[in-house]
């Protein structure tokens, strides 16, 4: 196995955490056999550099101004399984409360109610959460 590829792969994972899917895509660009790619994946997982559930939790924590729909979509696009997404969202602040906080800050800045609703929906908040802030 090419040691430069291994170093480059591990260095990339240390700089920017990723999912299994993202790591596999990174390795597909290299001239490695399937066995070599799998060996690197296993080594990275064993070292804790690839952990989809931890990635999902970090992603949710970093995107609390998004609704659950958008967060779930983005994580799904990155290859995170729905069970791991649901677990991460379960640990986050409830979506209606996040929507309320955003709406209140936008109201203070003078944004119209119609635009607040539009912004929340475009950020992936559910209709139920958006309706809860307009009551």
Instruction: Please indicate, yes or no, whether residues 46 and 7 belong to a single structural domain of this protein.
Output: yes
Q: Identify the pLDDT of residue 133.
A: 87
Indicate whether 8 and 41 sit together in one domain.
yes
Considering the domain architecture, whether residues 87 and 101 belong to the same structural domain is answered as no
Alpha-carbon gap, residue 36 to 27, rounded angstroms: 9
Q: Indicate the number of domains in the chain.
A: 3
Q: What would the pLDDT profile of 55-84 be if each residue is shown by its tens digit?
A: 999 999 999 999 999 999 999 999 999 999
pTM reported for the whole predicted model: 0.87
Same domain, 74 and 104: no
Q: Please, how many CA atoms are within 13 Å of residue 70, restricted to the half-sphere of its CB?
A: 16
Q: Which residues of the chain have pLDDT under 50?
A: none
**pLDDT (0 to 100) of residue 3:** 83
**Both 79 and 107 in a single domain?**
no
Beta-carbon contacts of 117 under 8 Å, excluding residues fewer than 6 positions away, are: 130, 134
Q: What's the domain range around 82?
A: 53-91
């Amino acid at each position: 196995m090419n040691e430069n590829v291994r170093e480059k792969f591990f260095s990339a994972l240390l700089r920017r955490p990723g999912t299994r899917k993202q790591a596999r895509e990174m390795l597909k660009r290299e001239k490695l056999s399937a066995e070599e790619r799998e060996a690197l994946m296993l080594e990275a997982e064993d070292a804790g550099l690839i952990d989809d559930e931890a990635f999902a939790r970090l992603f949710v924590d970093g995107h609390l101004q998004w609704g659950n729909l958008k967060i779930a979509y983005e994580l799904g696009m990155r290859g995170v399984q729905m069970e791991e997404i649901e677990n991460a969202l379960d640990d986050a602040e409830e979506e209606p409360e996040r929507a309320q906080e955003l709406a209140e800050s936008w109201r203070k800045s003078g944004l119209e109610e119609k635009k607040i609703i539009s912004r929340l929906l475009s950020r992936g908040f559910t209709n139920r959460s958006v309706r809860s802030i307009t009551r």
